[in-house]
Amino acid sequence: MAGTGTAHLREAENPVLRVHNLVVEYSTGGGEKFAAVADISLDILRGETLGLVGESGCGKSTVAKAIMQLPKPTSGEVLFDGRNLAAMSASELRSERRKLQMIFQDPISSLNPLRRVRHIVAEGLDVAGKGSRAERAAAVDDMLSVVGLDPEVAGDRRPHEFSGGQCQRISIARAIVVEPDLVVCDEPVSALDVSVQAQILNLLEDMKERYGLTLLFIAHDLAVVKNVSDRVVVMYLGKICEVASPDSLYAAPRHPYTEALLAAIPEPDPMAAPTGDALVGELPSPHDPPSGCRFRTRCPRADSLCSAEEPVIREVAPNHFVACHFPLSEPNDRKQP
């Protein structure tokens, strides 16, 4: 599965974001280092929503923070409109960051509990010095209205007075009010009730259409990602294993890990037979990942080649890329390499 390579990058296009050979390492208490993200590449075209999906601990949020330079990656390039964010000085990055915004997983803890909603949403405009004070106040009121909150009622309240869904609406308003080019959504609905999730997803889609946004949408739920994404990247243990359109990925997954994730999606029909092999075993430690293919310890198709050699991402169907020595082919071919 998880492998290296850049075959899935769209060289002929002009992406708003291109991540190239990204590596993010963390230090352990004993002074050793491990790679939470190990040499991945991806790109996002302007106006596109790229879904980034995988199990908890696979490195999705680390990728998001590395793109935002929180902190800077250990190595690799993060090209935003052709400029490498990782090579910028602090002052250059501060200016460029106005075009990138982030919506965090926990809507409540991501908001300053001491500040009123109106000030939280206005902070980005105040830092940028955009417009007069009256113009910034009007922009904040307009944005609160767009996300479904009454500015007269919500503006002078603090975050603890709102539900989780309402706090996420405030977070979205804070991100969009500065008119960014790219918004990184780091599991923006995973902490919310299912009924509220649908409302927030619909709101994000409306905001994307209204403001012409480009989105990186991170989730661990493929069912959620399918509904919002134009392209999907599947990650496992710091590596990319499959890249395709959502329709192609759902109709014919080519990687055993992707198939297992799809098989884990709950079916509303209790009589429906399970499809594919359910994922078994525990996620290996990133401190000591398996040799060769990192998925081989949980893969029903693995053999000696998988332990000896890391697979490289390659195109197995039009615009469908996979890093696997023995990719799945037809939907009924699910057992033997």
Rg (CA), the chain: 21
Alpha-carbon torsion 79, 84, 89, 91, what sign? negative
CATH at 42: 3.40.50.300
DSSP string spanning 144-202? HHHTT--HHHHTT--GGGS-HHHHHHHHHHHHHTT--SEEEEESTTTTS-HHHHHHHHH
**How many separate domains does the chain show?**
1
Range of the domain at 121: 17-322
Does residue 337 form part of some domain?
A: no
Does residue 5 form part of some domain?
A: no
Q: Which position has the token pair 């990925």?
A: 249
Does residue 228 form part of some domain?
A: yes
Does residue 331 form part of some domain?
A: no
Q: What is the pLDDT of residues 157-172, one digit of tens each?
A: 999 999 989 999 999 9
pLDDT of residue 140: 95
Does residue 98 form part of some domain?
A: yes
pLDDT of residue 278: 62
DSSP string spanning 282-308? PPPPTTSPPSSSTTGGG-TT--HHHHH
Does residue 9 form part of some domain?
A: no
Q: What is the pLDDT of residues 80-96, one digit of tens each?
A: 999 999 899 888 888 88
Does residue 330 form part of some domain?
A: no
Q: What is the pLDDT of residues 24-68, one digit of tens each?
A: 999 887 778 889 999 999 999 999 999 999 988 889 999 999 999
Does residue 6 form part of some domain?
A: no
For the purposes of burial, counting CB atoms within 10 Å of the CB of 35, is it exposed (0-12), middle (13-18) or buried (19 or more)?
buried
Across the chain, mean pLDDT equals 88
- Please name the residues in contact with 149: beta carbons below 8 A apart, sequence gap of 6 or more: 117, 166, 169, 170, 173
